[in-house]
C-alpha cells in the first residue's frame, strides 16, 4: 500500500539525490518534484524508517499530519480566544488564516459574535 509523505532536504542537490535513491528502492513510487526546491511530495510503499535512512533526507512527515496549504509543514488547529475551532494552520499560513478573522477574537474571550458561527466542521 502506498502512503503519501513529504520529504525535506537541506539543498536542491540533496533533493535530486533523494529522488534517485527512492526510485532505486521502489520504482513504483510516485514522485512530485514540483514546487519548493527542497521539498518533495511522494507516494511510496517504502516505510518512513527507510525514507529517513536515505542520505540527504532532513525530515519526512506523513501527509496525514500536513497542512492543507501544501507548505509541507505539520498542521495544528487554530482556535480563537473562546476555544472555537477556526481551521487548521501551519507556521507558514497561520498569519494569513488569522487575517481572515477580526483580530480581537484571538485576544478577547468576550468578543461580540455578530456573525454566524459555522458549526458544521
Binding site for Zn ion (CB under 5 A): 67, 69, 71, 90, 92-93
Minimal distance, residue 54 CB to Zn ion, in Å: 25
Looking at beta carbons only, is 29 or 36 nearer to Zn ion?
36
Coil, strand, or helix at residue 116?
Answer: coil
Residues paired with 85 in a beta bridge: 79
Looking at beta carbons only, is 38 or 93 nearer to Zn ion?
93
| Sequence-separated (6 or more) residues with CB below 8 Å from residue 111 | 80, 81, 82, 102, 104, 105
Looking at beta carbons only, is 21 or 60 nearer to Zn ion?
60
Amino acid at each position: 500500500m502506498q502512503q503519501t509523505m513529504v520529504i525535506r532536504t537541506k539543498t536542491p542537490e540533496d533533493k535530486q539525490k533523494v529522488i534517485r535513491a527512492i526510485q532505486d528502492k521502489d520504482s513504483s513510487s510516485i514522485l512530485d518534484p514540483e514546487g519548493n526546491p527542497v521539498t518533495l511530495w511522494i507516494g511510496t510503499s517504502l516505510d518512513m524508517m527507510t525514507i529517513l535512512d536515505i542520505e540527504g533526507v532532513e525530515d519526512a512527515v506523513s501527509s496525514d499530519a500536513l497542512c492543507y496549504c501544501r507548505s509541507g509543514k505539520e498542521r495544528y488547529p487554530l482556535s480563537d480566544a473562546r476555544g472555537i475551532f477556526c481551521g487548521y494552520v501551519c507556521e507558514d499560513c497561520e498569519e494569513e488564516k488569522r487575517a481572515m478573522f477580526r483580530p480581537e477574537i484571538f485576544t478577547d474571550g468576550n468578543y461580540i459574535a455578530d456573525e454566524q458561527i459555522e458549526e458544521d466542521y
